[in-house]
Structure 1
Amino acid sequence: MSDAPTRTAHSANSTQSAPPTSNAVVAVLAFAGIVVALMQTTVIPIVPELPKLLDASASNTAWAVTATLLAAAVATPVVGRLGDMYGKRRMLLASIVLLISGSITCALSDSLIPMIAGRALQGLAAGVIPLGISIMRDVLPSERLAGSTALMSASLGVGGALGLPSAAFIANNFDWHVLFWTSAGLGAASLALVLLFVPESKVRTGGRFDLIGSVGMAVGLISLLLAVSKGGDWGWTSPTTLGLLACAIVTLTAWGFYELRTTQPLVDLRTSARRQVLFTNLASVTFGFSMFAMSLVLPQVLQLPEATGYGLGRSMLTVGLVLAPQGLVMMTMSALSARITKAKGPKVTLMLGAVVVAAGYSLSLVMMSEIWHFTLIACTIGAGIGFAYGSLPSLIMGAVPASETAAANSLNTLMRSIGTSLASALAGVVLAQMTTDFGGRALPSENAFKVVMAIGAGSAVLAFFVASFIPRQPAGGKRAPAADGATDTPKAAEAVSEKA
């Protein structure tokens, strides 16, 4: 094969002697990514019932969702760095084991504390998708890489879209614990498949783990995300919210100075500051915002009573079925995304995705009165997200050494998560302020939903603008030489590692 000199002997031999194995690796890793994404939607159908099911207040049961968010934010960059140091497959397996453990804990729980603990364990598995992308870079032949990483990246949205109708069906027809037993079963299947079909990458950085940096990042991120996600409940000007925001600013600033001065940082901020990586990550924040804004609005409008004049009065199961095609569209678009990337470069694909997402949100401003309107809007936005998410790994991996792939992809995934958190907070403020009276209840008004969708369109336009600053990449699937001495080959990365 033409790229054999740039591969390790192990990966070159495996791709030459057994091409079908590449298909198995891609399928298994994509399945693992979808399983982790499914976990995020598992509790959505039962969120309104959790106070009764767990004998706790609504504000306390909300931690079943918040705990997953916080755990994922902390685990994703840490697991990525550990994968670069000690083996990506090893950390992938550890993440899946945590998912299974968390699912079993939730399945056995009937009270609040075990549920929160289980959901936090599930959140610790969020690093599966960036680890999977990094494994693909190390073990797949070059001609398979763009399409495979695009599919893996899109699995986050695919799993979320397909998980909602599945979870709603289970919640409506079985005991709620079955949701988590199902999650545990899928996790076990994923674990077995990874053990059977996914090889370990030989690309390692070695070195010493940055414990101080990981603690500092955890404190800063938890403070920031707690303030953003709970500020609406606590009050945006409350001492708790303001104190957490101040803590986040001070801690993350100090963490940044420390990371720039340590020899083996958790996050290489100099690499992250490269123009291509920086603007790709900023675009990821805005795309994460766009994706979640839709997820907040469409289910609510579909479920609100018809008597409001704009709600459709549908069940959660119907909501899931209406929005499920979005996941299939994302999967299809990830393959098309790889073709466009090969022909025009990943920057063009990312900007095209932003245009399609903006068009989908624009449709929502005039079309939200029929069932098929919602499916069309969701599929259009999903197509744009599929383009964008499919191009992000190519942009990141084209600018970082192979030995830092997992950490860089993990940071990019974290940026998307921060975008979704910001979308949740901002949309929550809009929906809480713009209300209408319905039978003595204050419900979000039709204009409130349109404002949120308009903000989603604006964030897609912002993503297009940010993406325009990314250096243009060559077409034909070739990577531009990485800046600042970075290298794109495993062997070169190993050489750099040995010299360090």
Structure 2
Amino acid sequence: MTTTLAAPQVRVGKAAVWALGMLAAATGTLESVVTPTLPLLQRELSMSPAQGALLSITMLITGALVTPVAGNLGDRYGGKRVMLRLMTVVATGGLVSSLAPNLPVLLLGQVLEGAMVGAMPLSFILVRKHLPTGESQVAIGVVSGLFVGGGMLGTLIAGPVAEGLSRHWMFAIPTIAIVVATVLVHRLMPNDPPARSDARIDWPGLALLSGVLLTLMFVLALAPSAGSQPLVLLALLVLLALLVTGWTVVERRSPSPMVDLNLLAKPAIWSSYVITFAVCVGTSVAMYLVPQLLAVSADGYGFGASSTDIGRYLLPGAVTAAISGPLGGIAARRFGSSAVVATGIGVMTATLVALAFLHGEVWHLIVAKALIALASGVCITAMVVKTATSVDHGNTGTATSLVLVTRVIGFAAGAQVSGAFLTAGTQPGMDDPAESAFVTGFVIAGAVTALSLLVVRTLNKGVKT
């Protein structure tokens, strides 16, 4: 039987919250250094394009698997205790990546680094336990925003550091920052006692949930090429259905389930996952299509932008994404999460549909990308806040970690759908897809985002007061 202990009444100061924010920024930086330097890594490590693709998604897969486990263990044994151990794994991964002489060692480092995504629900556990509701909402926004800001910083500095010093230092510098931030969290953040008295781990549930997420990622990866290998995709879908069924049966029978299915049945919880998925699909489509549109030859409907130009054009969107976290937390505290989410979805939908008809000038894409990044970040932060405050303290990590996993799945699904549209819209012998492929992508992304408005009302049903 699971017993929930009373939450501690220990208050923390701003320094402790900023230590968590510094850790989020450092992990965000380390997470983002591979993507902009992938051509350099492929050249120096003699990697094929397929190996480069594997390197780019390794951390994503690990993060999807580790995040719900980290959140659940944080609920059971205390957020700080689990975070310190998790950051030891991440720092080890950063060290391995910085010293990697070849691709297999670098892949090992990326697998270990992927555990960093699990730090987010652990941070939410700590701020919710040690701060009043209003302050914890703002703190969640600050931590989320600094993680995004760290990703922006990593994207900007990875290339210059790798070219000016070496690829080893682009991993080493963020790793050193993670170690320093972890020490500060250890010193400034008080210990939080376990929220549950039981210490058993639901190993069958953990194994099946990992299988579900891993199989789902493979399904999304193969979906665009379903026409060439339909039997493989069908087999994966059958396997996914069997794993979901098995996981559901195991969790219902377990005395201490990895994920409490009664928790997922709450309207405020399942609706937050539906909205998060839809918003992230729309955001991912824009993230994928806008750079592709900028790169299309200027002889047609595109702009022939170089990689440097594209990076400069996307910078305003990165800035708005970084400030969206704190803004979302403040707005959720003042106006309520449901109002913030509905407004963000409205802005995103209008912008995506407008992009389908207004993309003839570079500034159209710059402004649209910035608005989508801002609205999406505000929505996701408000969803995390809503989810965290809709459950008791003993389920904060589990509930918020599933929001983050849903976010990863939504981004992966949006990217695959976008790739499929552009592939289908490219005629044989042509380098660029037809303009209609972009129009279709933006319209469908807007429609998916708009449909999530249908469940916004359910966010306030069954909320724990």
TM-score normalised by structure 2 residue count: 0.90
- Aligned letter for 1:184? T
Counterparts of 1:321-360 in structure 2, within 5 Å, are 321-360=312-351
Which secondary structure state, in structure 2, belongs to the residue aligned with residue 99 of structure 1?
A: helix
CA distance, structure 1, for counterparts of residue 237 and residue 301 of structure 2: 39
| Corresponding position of 1:120 | 111
With over 3 angstroms needed to count, the CA separation of the structure-2 counterparts of 1:234 and 1:169, relative to structure 1, is: farther
Counterparts of 1:417-436 in structure 2, within 5 Å, are 417-435=408-426
1:461 aligns with 2:444: no
1:290 aligns with 2:273: no
CA distance, structure 1, for counterparts of residue 18 and residue 32 of structure 2: 22
With over 3 angstroms needed to count, the CA separation of the structure-2 counterparts of 1:313 and 1:107, relative to structure 1, is: same
Residue deviations 1:463-489 (CA, integer Å, cap 9, x gap):
22222332269xxxxxx535xxxxxxx
- Aligned letter for 1:137? R
Which secondary structure state, in structure 1, belongs to the residue aligned with residue 108 of structure 2?
A: helix
Match of 1:184 among 175, 183, 207: 175
Counterparts of 1:101-500 in structure 2, within 5 Å, are 101-171=92-162, 173-207=164-198, 208-232=200-224, 237-316=229-308, 318-435=309-426, 442-471=431-460, 480-481=463-464
Deviation larger for 214-223 or 110-119: 110-119
- Aligned letter for 1:387? V
Which secondary structure state, in structure 1, belongs to the residue aligned with residue 374 of structure 2?
A: helix
Shift of 1:454: 2.3
With over 3 angstroms needed to count, the CA separation of the structure-2 counterparts of 1:143 and 1:345, relative to structure 1, is: closer
With over 3 angstroms needed to count, the CA separation of the structure-2 counterparts of 1:243 and 1:7, relative to structure 1, is: closer
- The answer to whether the Cα contact below 8 Å between 2:297 and 2:432 also exists between their aligned partners in 1 is no
Residue deviations 1:244-298 (CA, integer Å, cap 9, x gap):
2221211111101110111100011111111110101111111221222222122
Gaps of 5+ in 2: 1-5
With over 3 angstroms needed to count, the CA separation of the structure-2 counterparts of 1:471 and 1:453, relative to structure 1, is: same
- The answer to whether the Cα contact below 8 Å between 1:356 and 1:381 also exists between their aligned partners in 2 is yes
| Corresponding position of 2:73 | 82
CA distance, structure 1, for counterparts of residue 221 and residue 152 of structure 2: 22
Deviation larger for 307-316 or 78-87: 307-316
Gaps of 5+ in 1: 1-5, 16-20, 474-479, 483-500
Shift of 1:36: 2.6
Deviation larger for 276-285 or 199-208: 199-208
Shift of 1:214: 0.5
- The answer to whether the Cα contact below 8 Å between 1:168 and 1:320 also exists between their aligned partners in 2 is no
Shift of 1:377: 1.4
CA distance, structure 2, for counterparts of residue 55 and residue 253 of structure 1: 42
Which secondary structure state, in structure 2, belongs to the residue aligned with residue 267 of structure 1?
A: coil
Shift of 1:213: 0.6
Question: Matched residues, percent identical?
Answer: 22
With over 3 angstroms needed to count, the CA separation of the structure-2 counterparts of 1:238 and 1:307, relative to structure 1, is: same
Deviation larger for 273-282 or 350-359: 350-359
| Corresponding position of 1:45 | 36
Q: How many residues align?
A: 459
- The answer to whether the Cα contact below 8 Å between 1:95 and 1:126 also exists between their aligned partners in 2 is no
- The answer to whether the Cα contact below 8 Å between 1:66 and 1:229 also exists between their aligned partners in 2 is no
CA distance, structure 2, for counterparts of residue 118 and residue 382 of structure 1: 30
With over 3 angstroms needed to count, the CA separation of the structure-2 counterparts of 1:156 and 1:174, relative to structure 1, is: same
CA distance, structure 2, for counterparts of residue 416 and residue 275 of structure 1: 18
State the Cα RMSD in Å. Answer: 2.5
- Aligned letter for 1:306? A
With over 3 angstroms needed to count, the CA separation of the structure-2 counterparts of 1:54 and 1:426, relative to structure 1, is: same
Which secondary structure state, in structure 2, belongs to the residue aligned with residue 444 of structure 1?
A: coil
- Aligned letter for 2:263? T
| Corresponding position of 1:36 | 27
With over 3 angstroms needed to count, the CA separation of the structure-2 counterparts of 1:452 and 1:165, relative to structure 1, is: farther
- The answer to whether the Cα contact below 8 Å between 1:45 and 1:171 also exists between their aligned partners in 2 is no
With over 3 angstroms needed to count, the CA separation of the structure-2 counterparts of 1:42 and 1:329, relative to structure 1, is: same
- Aligned letter for 1:340? A
CA distance, structure 2, for counterparts of residue 113 and residue 32 of structure 1: 27
Shift of 1:339: 4.0
Shift of 1:163: 3.2
Shift of 1:47: 2.7
- Aligned letter for 1:447? S
Shift of 1:223: 1.2
With over 3 angstroms needed to count, the CA separation of the structure-2 counterparts of 1:136 and 1:330, relative to structure 1, is: same
Which secondary structure state, in structure 2, belongs to the residue aligned with residue 470 of structure 1?
A: helix
- Aligned letter for 1:464? L
Shift of 1:236: 6.0
- The answer to whether the Cα contact below 8 Å between 2:356 and 2:438 also exists between their aligned partners in 1 is no
Residue deviations 1:442-480 (CA, integer Å, cap 9, x gap):
33333323322223222221222222332269xxxxxx5
- The answer to whether the Cα contact below 8 Å between 1:305 and 1:311 also exists between their aligned partners in 2 is yes
Deviation larger for 103-112 or 375-384: 103-112
TM-score normalised by structure 1 residue count: 0.84
CA distance, structure 1, for counterparts of residue 94 and residue 360 of structure 2: 38
Shift of 1:91: 1.7
CA distance, structure 2, for counterparts of residue 374 and residue 358 of structure 1: 15
CA distance, structure 1, for counterparts of residue 153 and residue 358 of structure 2: 23
With over 3 angstroms needed to count, the CA separation of the structure-2 counterparts of 1:31 and 1:402, relative to structure 1, is: same
Which secondary structure state, in structure 2, belongs to the residue aligned with residue 73 of structure 1?
A: helix
Shift of 1:122: 1.4
CA distance, structure 1, for counterparts of residue 367 and residue 105 of structure 2: 40
| Corresponding position of 1:494 | none
| Corresponding position of 1:25 | 16
Deviation larger for 387-396 or 331-340: 331-340
With over 3 angstroms needed to count, the CA separation of the structure-2 counterparts of 1:162 and 1:333, relative to structure 1, is: same
CA distance, structure 2, for counterparts of residue 123 and residue 33 of structure 1: 13
Shift of 1:118: 1.4
CA distance, structure 2, for counterparts of residue 185 and residue 219 of structure 1: 33
